Chain A
Amino acid sequence: MLTAQAVFYYMAAASVASGLLAVTRRNPVQSMLWVLALFLHVAGIFLLLSAEFLAAVQVIVYAGAILIFYLFVVMLLDLPDEEAKPRFGKHWPFAACVGVATTLLAWLAQGAVAPAAGRLPDTGAAFTGSVAELGKALFGPFALPFELASLVLLAAIVGAVVLARKRGERT
Chain B
Amino acid sequence: MIVPMSTVLAVSAILFGIGVFGFLARRNIILMLVSTEVMLNAVNLSLAGFSQHLDDPRGQVLALFVIAVAAAEAAVGLGIVIALNRNKPGAGVGDLTDLKQ
Contact = CB atoms under 8 A, between A and B. Distances in A.
A23 B78 contact: no
B interface, size bucket: 35 or more
Interface string A131-159: 00110111000100100010011011101
Interface of A: 1, 4-5, 8-9, 12, 15-16, 19-20, 22-23, 28, 31-32, 35, 38-39, 42, 45-46, 48-51, 53-54, 57-58, 61-62, 65-66, 69-70, 73-74, 76-82, 85-89, 91-92, 94-96, 98-100, 102-104, 106-107, 110, 114, 117, 120, 123, 126-127, 129, 133-134, 136-138, 142, 145, 149, 152-153, 155-157, 159-164, 166
Interface in B39-87: 41, 44-45, 48-49, 51-58, 60-61, 63-65, 67-76, 78-83, 85-86
A157 B61 CA distance: 22
B45 A45 contact: yes
Contacts of B2: 1, 4-5, 8, 48
A65 B70 CA distance: 11
Nearest to A156: B72
Nearest to B13: A106
Interface of B: 2-3, 5-22, 24-28, 30-31, 33-35, 37-38, 41, 44-45, 48-49, 51-58, 60-61, 63-65, 67-76, 78-83, 85-86, 89-94
A102 B31 contact: no
Contact of B71 (A19, A66, A73, A123): A66
